[in-house]
Amino acid sequence: MKELLIATRNKGKVREIADILSPLGIKVTSLNDHPGMPDIVEDGQTFRANAAKKAVVIAQHAGVLVMGEDSGLEVDALGGRPGVYSARYSGENATDESNNDLLIKELSGVPVEKRTARYRCAMALADKDALIDVLEGSCEGLIATERRGTNGFGYDPLFYIPARQKTFGELDLSVKQTMSHRAVALRQFLLLLERYLVAHSG
């Protein structure tokens, strides 16, 4: 069975990705299954750059097919922050809790109509020889004034979808999988991966 290594230790991301890729019948692993992999310094200025770096470096070390993924939140009232720093928005030892606390604080007093934001996701595919491609997805929403729901991870309890009148934290995973930034990127990635597997099936 072909293996795809997701270059992350984030179990929430791995679960979402593995669920959508399940029709391909490939073994999905993560850095948690591959001890000894190098830590990647995410020093890119864009999600694309970070995703590509993760995929290429880990593929060279592991010798298997690798997905590098980088995603985050862009808030218009904050000039696009936290952006590529979403995971460490509140400092080097940031947690989802501390990041959400800081976001609520920074947007204090900002009216609803100016709390527009989007989740962005970049996904790169690489094998031991080369970077194959980088794909992107996004999802528009608003930042709620308080946490709602306990599903998902990251900023999900604050990311409000007006059409659903719910935050990602309140939506079932099955619904989130149809519309999230990661789902949009994954649908494209699925096609890319299928083409790659067919071309390398000999």
| Catalytic residue list contains 96 | no
User: Which residues have a Cβ under 8 Å from the Cβ of 60 and sit 6 or more positions away?
Assistant: 128
Q: Do 184 and 202 touch, CB atoms closer than 8 A? A: no
Measured at the CA of 142, the angle between CA 49 and CA 118, to 5 degrees, comes to: 15
Choosing from 19, 70, 129, 172, which is the catalytic residue? 70
- Tell me which residue of 196, 58, 87 sits closest to 132, measured CA to CA: 196
**What radius of gyration, in Å, describes the C-alpha atoms of the chain?**
17
CA distance 22 to 105: 39
Residues designated as active site: 70
